[in-house]
């Protein structure tokens, strides 16, 4: 869009957002007053201990769905770091020489969300899926490295986890925000990461988009995890009364909202759009670790065009998964395709030739007016049609 239309669209968004905010706040206050007796009963009936028990049962049910024992759900405490607790899923392999794959989830997700990949990869690899520090069930004290420098803090705690688990060489796979962290971790710890797989990574380019730039508003205003606004009652109501998608998404992912605050701290909002405050395309220009890309064809968070631009600029192998959005392993077929691609990446012994992978000043995607800073909203309808396809767990896993 040209500037006048961008400004008009931005003005329309902010007016609508403010009006909706007033309406939603008024409606919520009215609902709180009307349902206050019921909410007091919920608060009294569902103690914090009962909430934790419900979360645990939900997670165990997911593990069993993918033929995994609840013993694979583990915790690790770093006493010298004010009792930082890291929660993770670990599936050992019968072959002690089997490669290790470390999976990092995205925002609004946890290690539980990575189970479709864990289930497939565990036949060939030792697989570890980690709850990022401050996300999911990993607990970080209020005063920690995450306060002063969230990005460096996340990388540091993952390094500490690798030290504790003696992970000296592994394939690192990150999704979305987890891919952003994986890229930064590899930059700090090149000697540990043998191969790197980035799935729909955010934060590579500085821009988030024009019309599509406003979804970060939900992070910056803390609305992405809206049930937490109602505290314990919100968690229980979401667990019991909302749709199946939220029923599995929210109770497992958001005991706290520290992760949302971390993501929000990395986003700069402006009237016309939003920007990652610390984009990392420069790391890709110098990274010698063998790196590959995976994108969902209908990704509406970063857009497949960003993957094509990265592939064009840095000469990396790119897998595009059909019929999926921002989560390329959200369908059984997509999970199988992504797992096979990870396997092919893990087998390579090559490193990247930095001189050949240096940044092109005018990549082909720019010449065709394909802007990697914008978000293709025309993918919405196509993804909606694709989303109607079966995403259930294969029958052999039940």
The answer to whether residue 2 scores a pLDDT higher than 60 is no
Bridge-partner residues for 89, per DSSP? 73, 129
Judge whether 331 and 324 are in contact, CB under 8 Å.
Answer: yes
Residues 219 and 178: their CA atoms lie apart, in Å, by 16
Kindly report the CATH number that applies to the domain delimited by 66-205+279-389. Answer: 3.40.50.1820
Dump pLDDT digits (tens) for 199-257. Answer: 999 999 887 754 456 677 777 777 776 666 666 777 777 777 776 666 676 666 666 67
Give the C-alpha distances (Å, rounded to integers) separating 305 from 50, 181, 327, 360, 373: 45, 21, 16, 16, 9
Residues 273 and 295: their CA atoms lie apart, in Å, by 23
Give the C-alpha distances (Å, rounded to integers) separating 250 from 23, 63, 72, 139, 325: 24, 17, 21, 17, 19
Dump pLDDT digits (tens) for 321-378. Answer: 999 988 999 999 999 999 999 999 999 988 887 655 455 544 444 443 444 444 445 5
Dump pLDDT digits (tens) for 11-25. Answer: 887 888 889 889 988
Cα dihedral: 312, 317, 321, 324 (round 10)? -60
Judge whether 334 and 323 are in contact, CB under 8 Å.
Answer: yes
Whole-model pTM: value is 0.87
Residues 119 and 125: their CA atoms lie apart, in Å, by 10
Output the six-digit token pair for 236: 């229980």
Residues 346 and 117: their CA atoms lie apart, in Å, by 14
Strand residues in the chain grouped as ranges (E): 73-78, 84-91, 100-104, 126-130, 170-175, 193-199, 207-209, 267-269, 274-276, 290-296, 317-321
Q: Tokens 């919100």 sit at which residue?
A: 234
The chain-wide mean pLDDT, for the chain, equals: 81
């Amino acid at each position: 869009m040209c500037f006048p239309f961008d400004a008009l669209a931005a003005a329309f968004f902010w007016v609508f957002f403010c009006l909706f905010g007033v309406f939603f706040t008024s409606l919520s206050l009215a609902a709180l007053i009307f349902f206050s007796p019921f909410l007091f009963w919920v608060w009294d009936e569902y103690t914090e201990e009962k909430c934790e028990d419900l979360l645990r049962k939900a997670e165990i049910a997911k593990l069993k769905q993918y033929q995994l024992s609840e013993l694979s759900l583990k915790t690790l405490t770093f006493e010298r770091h004010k009792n930082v607790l890291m929660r993770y899923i670990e599936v050992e392999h019968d072959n002690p020489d089997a490669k290790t794959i470390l999976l990092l989830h995205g925002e609004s997700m946890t290690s539980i969300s990575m189970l479709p990949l864990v289930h497939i990869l565990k036949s060939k690899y030792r697989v570890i899926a980690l709850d990022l520090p401050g996300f999911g069930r990993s607990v970080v004290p209020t005063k920690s490295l995450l306060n002063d420098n969230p990005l460096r803090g996340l990388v540091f705690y993952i390094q500490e986890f690798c030290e504790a688990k003696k992970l000296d060489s592994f394939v690192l796979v990150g999704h979305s925000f987890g891919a952003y962290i994986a890229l930064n971790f590899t930059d700090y710890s090149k000697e540990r990461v043998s191969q790197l797989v980035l799935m729909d990574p955010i934060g590579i380019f500085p821009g988030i988009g024009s019309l599509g730039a406003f979804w970060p508003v939900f992070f910056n205003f803390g609305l992405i995890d809206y049930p937490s606004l109602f505290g314990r009652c919100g968690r229980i109501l979401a667990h019991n009364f909302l749709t199946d998608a939220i029923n599995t998404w929210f109770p497992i992912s958001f005991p706290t909202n520290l992760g949302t605050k971390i993501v929000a701290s990395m986003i700069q909002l402006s009237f016309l759009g939003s920007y990652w405050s610390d984009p990392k395309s420069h790391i890709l220009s110098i990274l010698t670790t063998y790196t590959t890309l995976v994108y969902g064809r209908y990704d509406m968070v970063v857009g497949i065009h960003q993957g094509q631009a990265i592939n064009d600029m840095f000469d990396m192998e790119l897998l595009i998964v059909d019929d999926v959005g921002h989560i390329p392993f959200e369908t059984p077929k997509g999970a199988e395709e992504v797992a096979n691609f990870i396997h092919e990446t893990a087998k390579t012994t090559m490193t990247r030739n930095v001189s050949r992978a240096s940044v092109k000043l005018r990549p082909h995607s720019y010449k065709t007016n394909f802007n990697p800073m914008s978000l293709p909203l025309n993918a919405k309808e196509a993804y909606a049609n694709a989303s109607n396809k079966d995403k259930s767990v294969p029958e052999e896993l039940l």
